[in-house]
Chain A
């Protein structure tokens, strides 16, 4: 299975919640995530998307099965090794509480380097400023996290997720809390990152526009993969239609708008 193109591989992933009343939310998932791929995970609430993402992000442990990152098994790593792994190879973007309110935008971006080395090198500090510039927040470097808008905070969170040059960027509904303008900006950023830095993106999303514009869509239904396809095999319109009905019945008329995304 030493396919150099595969960055993340899930094998027979199951997840059971509860001890007395057991609920299986993932039923033995198998899939591979390829390098440099922008993948959206979609599905109704409760379909197991976030659980899957947390397991893929080494935050949560599966009940059965395993995840491999470049052939390295998660199940063989200790908690501390997993923490180091997250710090060095993964970048997280969450829907809520993106930043630590006690710290400035720049400090928030540098936190992952602090965790690793105690202090930030000049190289990292310069990199953090670059990343903040990339996400369009050059003028807010010194601002306290609490003084930024939701969209700005999420962009700082993206810069922070990138500071250690992770192989994979994981987002759990990163635009779920944002207005449509901010959503557009964030999507644009994802694309830029994917194209310029070669980062693999794995985004759980409710936003059908983002899903339609990603490279690949994995749709979860009740803990099983119901669809897994590449958007490139469809026209833009078809791609949008494939994801749209999942979330809204009235989205048909928005087909025209998608071109403006």
Chain B
């Protein structure tokens, strides 16, 4: 290999112009792949983070009365409308939480009570959604305490927090008192302690966040809860974690963000697919480019190859000279391209932050992705050299010598 390496390096060095053009071609191709890859994964990460970053990934609820009935009496006529639509509380939720806390793929395991109510204002009734949280646990998922825009983050006792959309709609300020009517006919008044912005208009306009015990009392659940929410450490493991929880706990319904956001995920997947398609075609173009330049180079170097073969260079050696050229170009080009791609990413971050001071969305360089792109590009360059290498190995020295 030392001989092949020497000749390959020398051919590349002496054909500087050609080598530089090829390297530029590979670099630009790899840079486009690195940039596109970073951009798309950054965009997707950002989208997913916005969608589920501050919400629960997996949640447990009790089976509804309807579900309980059909699981018990499979042959009877059961009509959903005839059953109690209220969520069924989770009995022995404390022991469920203990089970869940043993797992190390979860965090922010948070029990809560949910229920519906109406906010009545000047004879207009607006449906709202009561969320009874354990403030500390809920913060691990929702980060409410850092997302208060007015007032305090303390919502114990008779205090509650409302979203900024709701507050704006009714011109409410911290300290104001609001009256909530429950479907059961009960009316209770609460003091607004703070106004939050959780970045989701449905949440901001309908959530009434109060203490777990207060909500339990208000909705008549005693010491029970209706739901256990949690986040998973690896966001795309939500489905498998869901399944493994469901298999361990009986009488509960487990749900996850992937199932409830299937259209978003389908969009993300097709985006990834198109990004990969573009990268594949860029790679193909680069590979064909290398292949054709090296093929021309074999013709250009046919005299040298003829002499080398006459002096005892074997066909295998002759082909390795060109395979090596392909790999050398591929590796150097990929390294240059990775640098250029990272440069492009930095330029994008800088360019989009010019007017606002903050980039359009954060991009993080993914070393493992760049490594994969680099390895694939280097391999492709070597593969691109196969055809020229084959021509080089077949070259007959007699032809070259005879034809001068």
Contacts and interface: CB of A to CB of B under 8 A. Distances in A.
Interface of A: 50, 54, 57, 59-60, 79-80, 83-88, 92, 94-103, 111-112, 114-116, 118-119, 160, 172
B302 to A, nearest CB: 10
B120 interface: no
7 contacts: A59-B401, A87-B311, A101-B14, A102-B11, A114-B3, A115-B313, A115-B317
The interface residues of chain B, by DSSP majority, are classed as: helix
Given A50-B402, A54-B398, A60-B398, A118 B2 contact: yes
Closest 9 CB pairs of A and B: A87-B312, A118-B2, A102-B14, A114-B3, A96-B404, A86-B312, A97-B303, A83-B314, A102-B10
A92 B311 CA distance: 7
Nearest to A100: B304
Interface centre among B400, B401, B404 (most CB of A within 10 A): B401
Contacts of B310: 57, 59, 86, 92, 94
Contact of B311 (A50, A86, A118): A86
Interface residues of B, number: 29
Contact of A114 (B2, B306, B402): B2
Interface centre among B316, B397, B400 (most CB of A within 10 A): B397
Nearest to B1: A118
A99 to B, nearest CB: 8
A221 B23 CA distance: 54
A88 B312 contact: yes
B249 to A, nearest CB: 67
B314 A80 contact: yes
Contacts of B316: 80
B307 interface: yes
Given A102-B10, A119-B2, A111 B398 contact: no
B401 A115 contact: no
Interface of B: 1-3, 6-7, 10-11, 13-14, 303-304, 306-317, 397-398, 400-402, 404
B219 to A, nearest CB: 83
B312 A112 contact: yes
A94 B315 CA distance: 21
Nearest to B302: A97
A60 B397 CA distance: 9
A52 to B, nearest CB: 12
Contact of B315 (A50, A79, A95): A79
Nearest to B13: A102
Contact of A103 (B3, B10, B303, B317): B10
Contacts of A100: 304, 307-308
B323 to A, nearest CB: 16
Contacts of B304: 97, 100-102
Contacts, number: 80
Contacts of B306: 97
Nearest to B397: A59
Contacts of A119: 2-3
Contacts of B11: 102
B303 A115 contact: no
A80 B315 CA distance: 8
Given A97-B303, A102-B14, A102-B304, A115 B1 contact: no
B18 to A, nearest CB: 13
Contacts of A57: 310
B299 to A, nearest CB: 14
B311 A115 contact: yes
A92 B308 CA distance: 11
Nearest to B402: A50
B142 to A, nearest CB: 67
Contacts of B315: 79-80, 83
B311 to A, nearest CB: 5
B321 to A, nearest CB: 11
A120 B315 CA distance: 21
Nearest to A91: B311
Contact of A111 (B2, B308, B400, B402): B308
B307 A115 contact: no
Contacts of A92: 310-311
Contacts of B1: 118
Contacts of B13: 102
B375 to A, nearest CB: 27
B45 to A, nearest CB: 49
A97 B397 CA distance: 12
Contacts of A59: 310, 397-398, 401
A59 to B, nearest CB: 5
Contacts of A85: 312
Interface centre among A79, A95, A97, A103 (most CB of B within 10 A): A97
